[in-house]
C-alpha cells in the first residue's frame, strides 16, 4: 500500500503524469505510473493543475524568537506552496539549538544558514564587533547540527559591519574552509564595496540581493555588468534574488538579465512584516515578478527546485524523480492581470501568475486550498486506513 498517489498532474512541459510516494520518497513518476496501484490517499488533478518538485525558498527569516526578522515556517512554507525553507542567518551559534528544536514541530522542511556572528541577527549591526565572530563556536554548532546547518551567512553592508569593512567576510572565508559549506553573502549599502567583496568569493558562494538598486548593485553607472561581477560569475559564484523589503529593483533585474546575468536561485527574503505588508507576500509572488521580467516558467521553476537543491547540497530535493523526497508543489499558471510592486515602489502589470494550490510534504502532510473545486481536484482517502486529509487555506494567495 502506497502512502500517496497524485494522478493526472501537468508537468511544466505539458505531459500529464502520475506520482507515487511511499515511505517519504517518490517511487514512480510518469504517464499512468499509478495505474492499478493502491494507496492510502489519492489526489486526482484531472489534468487541470501543474505539479513540480516541492518549491525551495533559499532565503527566508523564520526563527520566531528573532527580535528583528521572524515568521512561522509553515506560514511562509507549506501554507504558501513551499515545501522547504532555508533561514538565512537569523541565528548564530548561540541560539541555533533553540531554533533547531522549534523547527522539529513544523510540517515544512526547515534548514539554516548559520550567521557568522554567534548572536545571529539580534540587532542590525551584528558584525560591527569582531569578537562576535568566533570560529570555535561556529564549527561546534555545525558539528552539532550536521544536516540542519547547510551553509554560512554573512551580511556585508555598512549598517551591519560598521567600521570593520571587509574583515568579517575575510574571516568567513577562513571559517568556510574548515567545513566546506556554501557561503551566502548579503550585499547592501557600502562600504565595503561590492567589487572588493566579489573578488573574495569563490565557486559555489552565493551573492544574495543580487538585483538591488542600491549603490552596491551589480551594474555600473552606464548600466553594464561590473567587471568584478563578470569575473565572479566566471569563477562559479552564484546569484540569488533575496527580494526582501529593499532588495529587488525591476529596472536593475531587467537590465542584468539582458546581459545574461540570470539568477541561479529565486528566493523571497520573507519575514512577517514584508509578507503581510509587502512587497514580498510569498515566494509565488516573487516568482510571478520574474515571469513579468521575461523569464520562462520552466526557468523560474528550476530556480526554486533543482538549482536551489544543487547549490545548497540537498541531494534528494528539487527533482521529480524516483528516489527523491516526496515533496510536491501543486500549482496553477493563471492568465490574469496582476499588479506587481518592487522594493523601490515601481509598479508593473503582469498578465500571468504562479498560484499555489496544494503542498505535499514527504507524501504525508497535505495542505490544500479550501476553494479548489472537486471538478478540478479531488482528495480521497481509501477505506483501508481512514486517514484524514489536512484541508487548510493557502494564506493570502488569490485563487
Q: Round to whole Å and give the CA distance between 207 and 252.
A: 15
Q: Does residue 397 register a pLDDT over 50?
A: no
329 in a structural domain: no
Q: Does residue 396 register a pLDDT over 60?
A: no
- C-beta neighbour count of 179 within 10 angstroms: 15
Indicate if 202 and 169 belong to the same structural domain. yes
pLDDT digits (tens, 9 = 90+) for 163-190: 999 999 999 999 999 999 999 999 999 9
Q: Round to whole Å and give the CA distance between 248 and 207.
A: 13
Indicate if 9 and 99 belong to the same structural domain. no
Structural domain total, the chain? 2
Look at residue 368 in the predicted model and tell me its pLDDT. 73
The dihedrals phi and psi of 308, each to the nearest 5 degrees, come to -60, -40
387 in a structural domain: no
Look at residue 243 in the predicted model and tell me its pLDDT. 98
Indicate if 119 and 255 belong to the same structural domain. yes
386 in a structural domain: no
393 in a structural domain: no
Indicate if 21 and 166 belong to the same structural domain. no
Indicate if 255 and 374 belong to the same structural domain. no
Look at residue 343 in the predicted model and tell me its pLDDT. 98
The kind and range of the H/E element at 251 are helix 250-258
Look at residue 380 in the predicted model and tell me its pLDDT. 65
> By residue range, what is the domain housing residue 16?
2-51+360-381
68 in a structural domain: yes
Indicate if 26 and 98 belong to the same structural domain. no
Indicate if 203 and 188 belong to the same structural domain. yes
* % residues pLDDT > 90 (the chain): 92
394 in a structural domain: no
Q: What are the residues whose beta carbons fall under 8 Å from the beta carbon of 296, sequence distance 6 or more?
A: none
Q: Round to whole Å and give the CA distance between 196 and 194.
A: 5
398 in a structural domain: no
Indicate if 34 and 69 belong to the same structural domain. no
- pTM, entire model: 0.93
pLDDT band per the 50, 70, 90 thresholds, residue 394: very low
Q: Round to whole Å and give the CA distance between 28 and 382.
A: 19
pLDDT digits (tens, 9 = 90+) for 66-101: 999 999 999 999 999 999 999 999 999 999 999 999
Indicate if 109 and 9 belong to the same structural domain. no
Indicate if 341 and 237 belong to the same structural domain. yes
Q: What is the average per-residue pLDDT within 361-377?
A: 67
Q: Round to whole Å and give the CA distance between 399 and 373.
A: 11
Q: What is the average per-residue pLDDT within 282-299?
A: 97
Domain harbouring 154, CATH code: 3.20.20.140
pLDDT digits (tens, 9 = 90+) for 13-52: 999 999 999 999 999 999 999 999 999 999 999 999 999 9
Indicate if 110 and 36 belong to the same structural domain. no
Q: Does residue 372 register a pLDDT over 80?
A: no
255 in a structural domain: yes
Indicate if 195 and 275 belong to the same structural domain. yes
Look at residue 116 in the predicted model and tell me its pLDDT. 98
- Annotated binding-site positions for Zn(2+): 59, 61, 153, 186, 209, 269
Q: Please say whether the beta carbons of 365 and 56 come within 8 A.
A: no
- Annotated binding-site positions: 59, 61, 153, 186, 209, 269
Higher pLDDT, 394 or 9: 9
Which residues are bridge partners to 151 per DSSP? 113
Amino acid at each position: 500500500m502506497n502512502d500517496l498517489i497524485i494522478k493526472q498532474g501537468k508537468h511544466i512541459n505539458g505531459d500529464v503524469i502520475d506520482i507515487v510516494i511511499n515511505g517519504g520518497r517518490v517511487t514512480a513518476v510518469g504517464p499512468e505510473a499509478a495505474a492499478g496501484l493502491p494507496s492510502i490517499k489519492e489526489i486526482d488533478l484531472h489534468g487541470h493543475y501543474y505539479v513540480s518538485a516541492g518549491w525551495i525558498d533559499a532565503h527566508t527569516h523564520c526563527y520566531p524568537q528573532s527580535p528583528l526578522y521572524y515568521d512561522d515556517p509553515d506560514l511562509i512554507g507549506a501554507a504558501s506552496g513551499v515545501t522547504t525553507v532555508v533561514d538565512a542567518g537569523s541565528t548564530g551559534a548561540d541560539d541555533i539549538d533553540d531554533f533547531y528544536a522549534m523547527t522539529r514541530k513544523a510540517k515544512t522542511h526547515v534548514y539554516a544558514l548559520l550567521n557568522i556572528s554567534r548572536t545571529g541577527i539580534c540587532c542590525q549591526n551584528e558584525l560591527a564587533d569582531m569578537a562576535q565572530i568566533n570560529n570555535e563556536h561556529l564549527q561546534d554548532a555545525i558539528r552539532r547540527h550536521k544536516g540542519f546547518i547547510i551553509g554560512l551567512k554573512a551580511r556585508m553592508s555598512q549598517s551591519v559591519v560598521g567600521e570593520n569593512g571587509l574583515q568579517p567576510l575575510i574571516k568567513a572565508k577562513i571559517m568556510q574552509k574548515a567545513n566546506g559549506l556554501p557561503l551566502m553573502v548579503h550585499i547592501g549599502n557600502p562600504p565595503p564595496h561590492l567589487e572588493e567583496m566579489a573578488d573574495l568569493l569563490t565557486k559555489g558562494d552565493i551573492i544574495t540581493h543580487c538585483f538591488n538598486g542600491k549603490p552596491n548593485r551589480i551594474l555600473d553607472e552606464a548600466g553594464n555588468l561590473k567587471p568584478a561581477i563578470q569575473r565572479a560569475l566566471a569563477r562559479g559564484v552564484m546569484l540569488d534574488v533575496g527580494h526582501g523589503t529593499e532588495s529587488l529593483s525591476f529596472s536593475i533585474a531587467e537590465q542584468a538579465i539582458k546581459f545574461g546575468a540570470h539568477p541561479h536561485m529565486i528566493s523571497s527574503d520573507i519575514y512577517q512584516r514584508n509578507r503581510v505588508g509587502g512587497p514580498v507576500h510569498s515566494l509565488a509572488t516573487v516568482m510571478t515578478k520574474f515571469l513579468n521580467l521575461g523569464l520562462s516558467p520552466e526557468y523560474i521553476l528550476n530556480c526554486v527546485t533543482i538549482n536551489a537543491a544543487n547549490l545548497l547540497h540537498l541531494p534528494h530535493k528539487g527533482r521529480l524523480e524516483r528516489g527523491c523526497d516526496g515533496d510536491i508543489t501543486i500549482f496553477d499558471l493563471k492568465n490574469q492581470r496582476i499588479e506587481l510592486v518592487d522594493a523601490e515602489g515601481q509598479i508593473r502589470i503582469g498578465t500571468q501568475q504562479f498560484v499555489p494550490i496544494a503542498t505535499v510534504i514527504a507524501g504525508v502532510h497535505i495542505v490544500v486550498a479550501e476553494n479548489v473545486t472537486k471538478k478540478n481536484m479531488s482528495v480521497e482517502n481509501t477505506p483501508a486506513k481512514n486517514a484524514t486529509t489536512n484541508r487548510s487555506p493557502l494564506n493570502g494567495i488569490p485563487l
